Chain A
Amino acid sequence: MSATQPPGNSGHIRRLEPVLEPGHTYASVTDKIAAVVLTRPLGIGWLAGFTLTFTITMVLFISIAWLIIKGVGIWGINIPIGWGFAIVNFVWWIGIGHAGTLISAILFLLNQKWRTSINRFAEAMTLFAVACAGIFPLIHTGRPWMAYYMFPYPSTMGIWPQFRSPLIWDVFAVSTYGTVSLLFWFVGLLPDLATLRDRAKQRYQQVIYGMLSMGWRNSARHWHRYQSAYLLLAGLATPLVLSVHTVVSFDFAVAIVPGWHTTIFPPYFVAGAIYSGFAMVLTLAIPLRKFYGLEDFITMRHLDNMAKVMLATGLIVAYGYFVEFFMAFYSGNKFDVFLAEQRLHGPYSHFYYALILCNILTPQLLWIEKVRRNVAALFLMSLVINTGMWLERFVIVVISLTRDFVPSAWGRYSPTFWDYSTFIGTLGFFVMLVFLFVRGLPAIAIAEMRELVEHGSHSNKEHK
C-alpha cells in the first residue's frame, strides 16, 4: 500500500500514527468491541478487581451510614474549617468528569477524529465521577434527607432558595451537568445497543439490549434526526461544561476569604478540571486497552494527544498558581500576602510543595517525546497528576480556612479515619462502576468506529 510509504518520508518528519490501525472492516470493529460485552467469559482478573472494588464500595456505604447515625462530627471538620475533605473531594471528582464532556462534545465540534474511540468510556467516566462528586455535598449537609430544601418548591413555610448564592447555582449546575451528560451518553449508546441486540445470542441479552435500544433500526430518517440531536447536544454541552466548574469556582471566589477571592479562579478551575480529567482518562484507558486487546482502536496517537492536552492544561494551571502569587503581592493586600506566605511556610506548606512537584514540575517531562510514547510512564504520570490535583483542592480549601483574617479565628484541620474511608470508598465505587460498564456496555462507540472505517477507506483510495 502506498499510504504506508509516502514520498518524502524522511527521518525528521514523523507520520502521525493512525487513529485506527489499518485493515479493519465494519464487521471486524463491530465483532471486536461487541465481543467484550457479549461473548468474552468473565476472567479471574475482572472478578478479582470487581470483588475488591465492591468491598471498598461497602466501606463507602458503611461510612455514609455511620455519618447519618452520628452526624458530621465523625469527620475532622470544625469551626473555622467547615469544608474539609468533603468539599476537596467534591471539587476533585467533578473536575475529573470534565474531560469526558470535553472529549465527547468539544472535540466533536472541532471534528477531531481521534476522539471516536475514547469518547464512550470518557463519558461513562464523567457520569461515574459526577455520581461520586454528588455524594459529598449531599452528606456534608449533615441531613441529606433534607436536601430537597435546596430546590425551589412551594413549601408550607413560604420560603424559597437564595438565588443570589453560588451554592444554589451549584445545585443547578451540577444537576444539569449530570442530566445532560446522561442524555448525551444514552443518545450515543442508542445505535450500539441495537448492534448488541442484533448480535446477542442469549435470550436475556436480547431482551435487555432490545429494551434499552427502544427498537432502533438504523433507518436513514432516524439517523438524520439522530445526527441533528447529537450535534445540538454537543453544542449545548460545550458551554455547559465550562459553566459547571466556573460555578464551582464561584463557591470560593464569591467569598471574601483570602486566597479564594480572585478573578483567576474560573478559568484556572476549568483548566485544572480538564487536566485532572485527562489524567483519569489515561488512568482508565491504559489498562483497558491492554487487558481487552483494544490497542488497534486506542492507539499511541490517542495516548500522545492526551499527553499533549495534559501538558497544555497543566501549563495553564501553572500560570494560575503564578498569578495567584503575583496578584497577592501586587495588590499589597496584607491578608493575601500573608496567605501566600502561609502556603510557602505555614503548617501545610509540605502539601503545597507536593502540589508543585506533582502538578507543575513532573508533567514537564511530557515535553519529551519518549515519555509520551512510554505507556508505563504515562500511566504513572496520570496517577501523579491526579494526586496533584487533589492536593490543589486541599491547599485551596484548608490553608485559606485555617488562616482567616484574625488570629483568633485560626485553626487546624486533620482528617479522621471516616474522612479517609469515605474518600477511598468513592474511589472504589468509581472503579467498580467502570468494571461493570466495561462488561455491560460497549466501551467504544461501535457505530462511530464503523464511520471511521468508512472514512479510512476513502482516504486510502485517494492515496492509490
Chain B
Amino acid sequence: MTEHHSYLHGVMGEFDTPEQLVAAAKKAREAGYKHVEAYTPFPIEGLAEEIGFHWTAVPLITLFGGVSGALTGFGLQYWCSAITYPLNIGGRPLNSWPAFIPVTFELTVLFSAIFAVVGMIALNKLPQPHHPVFNVERFAHASTDKFFLVIEARDPKFQLAESARFLQELNAKHVSEVKDEE
C-alpha cells in the first residue's frame, strides 16, 4: 500500500474494431456485469443497448420545450394584441390567430432546440473537465481509432484481478487499471 490514496475507478480494455467491442460488451453483460461503460471514436449502433442503456429522456425534454415554446409564443401575442394593448383597426378581430402563427412556430422551434441541446448536455453531466478515464494514457485514442470497454469498480461483481483477466480473455489489446487521485 502506498502512502497517497488513489481510488480505483475500474479496469479498461482496448479493442481495435467496433465489432470486437460490441462482442465484448455483450459478453460482459452476459457475465453479469452491470456497471460497464464503452468509449468509441464515433457512435456505434446497438452498443448503448449492450451496456444496458436503452432509453434517453432527450426526446421528451425536447417535446416539453416545444410545447412550452408554442404556448409562450401564442400566449405572448394573444396577451399583447388582445389584452394589454388592443388596437381596434376597422373592427377586425383582436385575436387574429392566423397572423400569430409564424412567431408561434419560430418560438416552438427555438425552445425545442434549446431544450434538446441543453438537455443532452445536462443529462451527459457535461461540462465535466475531469474524469478518471483520462488518467489512462492510451485513452487519447478513444477520439481517434481505438475502442475501449471499462468495467467499473462499483460493479458488485467487480474484482480487479478477475475482471482484468476477463477482459484479456475477450482479446483486449491493453488492459489497464483506471485510477483516480483521491
CA distance A27 to B42 in the complex (A): 12
Q: Is there contact, CB below 8 Å, between B40 and A223?
A: yes
Which residues of chain A are within 8 angstroms of B143 by Cβ–Cβ distance? Answer: 30, 191, 194-195, 197-199, 218
Q: A12 in the interface, Cβ–Cβ < 8 Å? A: no
Which residues of chain B are within 8 angstroms of A376 by Cβ–Cβ distance? Answer: none
Q: A152 in the interface, Cβ–Cβ < 8 Å? A: yes
CA distance A221 to B77 in the complex (A): 40
Near B by CB (< 8 A), chain A positions 214-230 give: 214-229
- A residues contacting the other copy or chain, number (CB 8 A): 62
Report A151-194 CB contacts with B as 1/0, cut-off 8 Å: 01000001111111010110011001001100110110001001
Which residues of chain A are within 8 angstroms of B53 by Cβ–Cβ distance? Answer: 220-221, 224
Q: A371 in the interface, Cβ–Cβ < 8 Å? A: no
Q: Is there contact, CB below 8 Å, between B127 and A215?
A: yes
Q: Is there contact, CB below 8 Å, between B38 and A195?
A: no
Q: A369 in the interface, Cβ–Cβ < 8 Å? A: no
Report A128-154 CB contacts with B as 1/0, cut-off 8 Å: 000000000000000000000000100
Which residues of chain B are within 8 angstroms of A295 by Cβ–Cβ distance? Answer: none
A359–chain B nearest beta-carbon distance, Å: 28
Contact of B48 among A26, A218, A224, A247 (CB under 8 A): A224
Q: Is there contact, CB below 8 Å, between B112 and A163?
A: no
B67–chain A nearest beta-carbon distance, Å: 14
Given the known interface contacts A27-B144, A160-B81, A164-B99, the answer about A450 and B38 at a Cβ–Cβ threshold of 8 Å is no
Q: Is there contact, CB below 8 Å, between B145 and A215?
A: no
Contact of A164 among B39, B96, B110 (CB under 8 A): B96
Given the known interface contacts A217-B133, A233-B113, the answer about A173 and B102 at a Cβ–Cβ threshold of 8 Å is yes
Given the known interface contacts A215-B130, A221-B51, the answer about A229 and B117 at a Cβ–Cβ threshold of 8 Å is yes
Give the most central of A169, A194, A210, A451: most B CB within 10 Å.
A169
Contact of A220 among B38, B109, B127, B130 (CB under 8 A): B38
Q: What are 5 pairs between A and B in contact, CB < 8 Å? A: A183-B114, A224-B43, A225-B124, A232-B112, A454-B18
The 4 A-B pairs at the shortest CB distance, nearest first, are namely A214-B127, A229-B120, A26-B145, A160-B80
